[in-house]
A = this chain, B = another copy of it.
Amino acid sequence: MKAKVIVMPKQSILDPQGVAVRDAMRHHGLPGVKSARVGKVIELELDGTTEAQLHEIARDMLSNPVVEDYTIQIQS
């Protein structure tokens, strides 16, 4: 099974890295950039793992639920 775990800062949380990217893009000739948010993506290849186990590990290990949300995309 292939799965992607995408971890993004929560909408209500200030994302300084995203603000830096947005400002750099504006200075780089793209004034139309309204917002940028920077997160992590973890691509996994796994066998014998249930979706419930994947949610558990995404919540407990791969993200910080206080400031981040995760989504899981299972590919095959």
Q: Which A residues are within 8 Å of any B CB, using their own CB?
A: 6, 8, 18, 21, 24-25, 28-49, 53, 57, 60-62
**A33: contacting residue among B8, B29, B33, B46, CB under 8 A:** B46
Contacts of A28 in B (CB 8 A): 57, 60-61
Pair B62/A49 contact, Cβ less than 8 Å:
no
Q: Once the chains are docked, how many angstroms separate the CA of A47 from the CA of B32?
A: 5
Show 29 residue pairs from A and B whose CB-CB distance is below 8 angstroms, ordered by the A residue.
A8-B43, A21-B42, A24-B61, A25-B44, A25-B57, A25-B61, A28-B57, A28-B60, A29-B53, A30-B46, A30-B49, A31-B48, A32-B47, A32-B48, A32-B49, A33-B44, A34-B45, A34-B46, A34-B47, A36-B42, A36-B44, A36-B45, A38-B40, A38-B42, A39-B41, A39-B42, A39-B43, A40-B40, A41-B41
